[in-house]
Structure formats: structure tokens, C-alpha cells
Amino acid sequence: MSVAELEAAEVQLEAPSGLWRDAFHRLVRNPGAIAGFVFVLVFAIAAIFAPLIATHDPVEQNLLLVANGCCPGPSGDHWFGVDLLGRDLFSRIVYGARYSLLIGVVSVSIGFSVGLVLGAIAGYVGGVVDSAIMRLMDVMLAIPGLLLAIGIVAALGPGLKEVMIAVGLANVPIFARLLRGSVLAQREADFVVAARAVGVRRPTILFSHILPNAISPVIVQGTLAMATAIIDVAGLGFLGIGLQNPDETPEWGSMLTEVNEYLQTAPFLALIPGTAIVVSVLGFNLIGDGLREALDPKLRGR
């Protein structure tokens, strides 16, 4: 070993730098990702502290406000104006963040965990099990995502839990495929062969050696899936499918349903909830792109 190499080894010993630490440093230096974090943070705060932030009751109607035609726009008392039934739009948007973020997080977690288990098993066990699982995933992928979610909601009936399951299940095949590919790539890696050679049990190899190394593309996909989940939930809401009382519930997508006729007189009724959806989705997309670059610096600027 040359002197230079010895020195290099020493430097490395002093500052141990792992994949995640490096990735974190790259992530915080990416302005896009920071903007994404800010957007998501704003919505997370709105969702968690909705009762404190909202200025009015989101479902309380005040028909007097719309007595002179629809609808009074933004004012000091109603920051975002009021909707067709005189409900305060600002408060509805704040409460709406709860639905989007809650459904998004839970449904992606469902898709992630079911997909993780199926994909890991398929990739690691291989053979007939692999074929059976992956053909089932192919069939699910053959049905366009929103249509699959609609079908699942139709079978389960409307409701918050049902929408989460529907959007979550529609995500399963994507995660399962990704993880299987990742696990397959790791299966013959030296450290796995070494673990097998010293007699580590199969489940331990899968969970402590393969999965931690196969997970990074899945985390990126998870962030991007949050974005898609919010769009899908809004889409279901817009179509009036899913939640039990679409007129009552302050859900962003369903707020856009009834404004069609009022575009001429009150375009803000469509613009404000729509912008809320775009900004929150943009936030997750920015974080996802940032993570992808951080975990795989070769992709920078691609």
C-alpha cells in the first residue's frame, strides 16, 4: 500500500461516511428538495393543527353570505372567500389537508408494506412462488390505476378506510416489482454469498442483509407514490366516489366537482383547492427527485 493510500484509509476512518450520511448532505444542498420539504411541512402543519389554524367551522353553512349570488370572494373575514353554501373556503382547505395527507400516508404505507413483503419473497425465494406472485402483479398492472381503485371502492363501499385500502392496493404491484428487481440484483452479491457461507438463516439474510441494501429505490418511489396518491384521492373525490358525504367532507378533489357552473362568476372556487393539490403534490415530487439524486449522484441534472 502506498503512503497516499494509507493516508486515505486514515481519513476515512476518522470520518466514517455511509450512503445515508452522504445522501443527507447532498439532499440539504439541493434547493429543489428544500422547497419540497417546505411545501410538505406547511401542509403537514395545516393538517395536524387544523382546528387551531382554521378561522371557521369547515362544514358550517351560512346561506346569508351567498344570498346576493355566488360567491363572495376573498375578504378580511373570509380569507379565501366562501363556497356555494356560504362555508369558509380557507377553513375547508386547512381541514382538507388532513384528508389528503392522511389518506396519502396510510395508502402508501399499505402499498409499501404489502409490496415489500410480496416483492422480497418473490425475489428471494424465486421459482414457482416468484412466478405466481409476479403474474398476479402483472394482472393488477393491466388495469389502469384509477380504474383499479374505483373497482376496489365499488366492492368495499364508500368510506375513508375503504379509499385508503383502494389507493394502497393499486400501489402494491409497483412496489412489489421494484423490490423484486432490487432483491434479485442483491441476491448474488458477495456479502450475501458470504453470509450464506457462514450459515446465516435465510430470513435473516433477507431482512438484515438484502433489504437494507435494496431499499433506496423503494424510498424514492415511496415519496413519488405519495404525490400520485394525493392526485388519485383528489380524482376519486372529484368523481364523487369514495368518501361517504362528498358534499359535506372538506376534501380538495370533491371541492372542484360542483364549481363547473360557477367558473364565470367565481373562478377562485376552483383555483384555490386546485392550487392546494398542486402545491402539496409538487412538494412530494420535489423531495422524491431530490432523494433520487442524493442516493444516486450519477443522475444529477437528469
Partner 1 sequence: MLRFVVRRLLLLVPILVGLSILVFVWVRALPGSPADSLLGERSTPALVKEYEERFGLDEPIYVQYWRYVKTTASFDFGVSSATHRYVTDEIKERFPATVELALAAMLFSVLLGVPLGFLAAKWHGGIFDQASLFVSLIGVSIPVFFLAILLKYLFAVRLGWLPTVGRIDVTSEAKHPTNFYILDAIVTHDLGTLKDVLKHLILPGIALGSIPLAIITRITRAAVLDVQNEDYVRTARAKGLPPLTVDRRHVLRNALLPISTIIGLQTGLLLSGAILTETVFAFPGMGSWLREAIFNRDYPVLQGGILFLALIFVLVNLVVDISYAIINPRIRYS
Residue ranges binding partner 1 (CB under 8 A):
135-136, 138-147, 150-151, 154-155, 157, 227, 231, 234-235, 238-241, 253, 256, 259-260, 263-264, 267, 270-271, 274, 277-278, 281-282, 285-286, 289, 301-302
Shortest distance, CB of residue 62 to partner 1, whole angstroms? Answer: 25
Give the residue with the Cβ less far from partner 1, 194 or 278. Answer: 278
Residues in contact with 146: Cβ distance below 8 Å, sequence separation at least 6, in sequence order:
170, 232, 235, 236
Shortest distance, CB of residue 70 to partner 1, whole angstroms? Answer: 15
Task: Copy the grid coordinates of residue 132.
Answer: 405466481
3-state DSSP call for residue 60? coil
Shortest distance, CB of residue 109 to partner 1, whole angstroms? Answer: 21
Shortest distance, CB of residue 15 to partner 1, whole angstroms? Answer: 31
Longest Cα separation, the chain:
86
Give the residue with the Cβ less far from partner 1, 131 or 204. Answer: 131
Rg of the chain in Å (alpha carbons): 24
How many Cβ atoms are within 10 Å of 181's Cβ, its own excluded?
15
Residue 199 φ/ψ region, left for φ over 0, alpha for ψ in the -120 to 50 degree band, beta for the rest: left
Shortest distance, CB of residue 54 to partner 1, whole angstroms? Answer: 23
Give the residue with the Cβ less far from partner 1, 160 or 282. Answer: 282
H or E segment to which residue 244 belongs? none
Give the residue with the Cβ less far from partner 1, 3 or 142. Answer: 142
